[in-house]
Structure 1
Amino acid sequence: MKSRFLLSGLLLCSLSGLGGCGASASGTFVEANRQPGHDEGVAPLRQPSPLAVNRRLPVPERPPQIADDRSRPWEVIEQANSSSAQNPDGAGYFNAIMQYDYVPGSLFQVYAAPLRLTDIQLQPGERIVGQPAAGDTVRWVLGIGRSRVDGVEQQHIYVKPTRPGLETTLVITTDRRTYHIELHSYRETYMAAVNWRYPHEELAIAGGGDVVASQVDLSGLNFAYEVDVHKGRRPDWLPLKVFDDGRKTFIQFPDAMLSGEAPVLFVVSRDGETQLVNYRVKDEFFVVDRLFEMAELRVGTKRQNVVRISRL
């Protein structure tokens, strides 16, 4: 009985304490208010985000490839060979002779055909050292010939393929230079003859030495020459005068010739045939190492200008 009264008293005290949380000492209910500044500095809780399931990380981008200036070896070789090739040009033809400008390291293109000879002509006085070397000596026939130009020996290399569709290389080594030639064979198209001009050699001669006039004996000069326009319009490079000293012929040009396309000199025989002649360029002069009765200066192919020089 005594224990039952004790439990009842404890329960009553507990209820009285809970009631004191919401009431004042007088028993009146007091509403709880939030005190300002209580939560300052406390970071709010972030809402939880669901975890990704089987999510892959992004694949990193591959770094851009660094440009390499070095091409593949065969590409470099093909580009060099292509850029150094000299092909037939209408402006370089005189009749059936293709005349290339000799530049060291160039690959001169020569086209031949079966049953046809192509005549490769060297500079007069130039001599072959050893034998011309060809990549294919079985299907290409090579021969060497000689002629004389103004008393000077000129050597020739004759080329003939055995069938069309062939390609090979030919190297000619002389006592003055080396020629690198690429040979091609067609069924009918062929080049009858090929020779060269030597502009670097002419410029070297023109740049060295004294003025021509200072080397000539003026007392023994022959000015009995006639210059006329034989074909085409009057060119800017029409010679001012022509004379000889009994051994050499001198053709003087205006300054316009030095800044434009220079003509090519040919000697005309009594039969009317024309042939190239050796001459040097010194200042505004062509110096020809011989005398002639008639010669022609030519420029162009389709619209050709021809100036004829006649000895009176």
Structure 2
Amino acid sequence: MTFPYTADAVFTLLTQSGQGTHIQLERGEGVVEKPVLGDTIQWRISGGPTNLYVKPVRPGISTSLTLVTNKRTYEFYLVASEPGGKFYQQVSFYYPDELKDVQLQAQVQAESFIAEKQRLSSQLLTPPLDPTSFHYGYKIKGDAPFRPIDVFDDGTKTFFRIPNVQDMPAVFVPDDSKRLTLIVTRLQGNFVIADRVSDRFVLKLDDQEVSIESDRIKHWWDTSSRSNSQY
């Protein structure tokens, strides 16, 4: 038999002569005072501190029992059933108030975890400089899922604003021979940040690729156009 514990309750224990009823306290709990029986002549109690045993000497009698532990006080009404009648061989307790506290604490922790996860997932980059000082002149080619929404630099770092995708691409810098060099990046919010600037970048993931080119690059036709305009 398992009782829900409340501090002001009196628990009825059905016992039987010739049988012991086991009172089992929770782990780490034990009686700190001598058990108080109302009738010490016709009732026996033994054991302790966590496991106690009560037994009547004959049927049809009743008495009270008080147990004071290091955690709680228990009040019992002991009843000796008739031979063949119902009795409890073992009784224990659960503690609804403490369960509520544990559940509330778990709920608070879960809500805090969810809130922090949402904060991190929705976190946007707060640029350290005035956004008006950024250089935004980048052309983006490619239709991969990770194609940046925006690319800009502050003169020392390049920022790639990536859509909400499961896997982030690697970032490479191509040389004049189109050989790719992997560069170190870090993730902050929905930005991939490279601690360098370059006129060209390539973003790759598996067989998908996005190329990025700065408008700082001067093509031969740009020079030719300006030269012709002088005549």
Q: Is TM-score (shorter-chain normalized) higher than 0.5?
A: no
The alignment's TM-score, normalised by the length of structure 1, stands at: 0.33
TM-score (norm 2): 0.45
Higher normalized strand content (fraction of residues)? 2
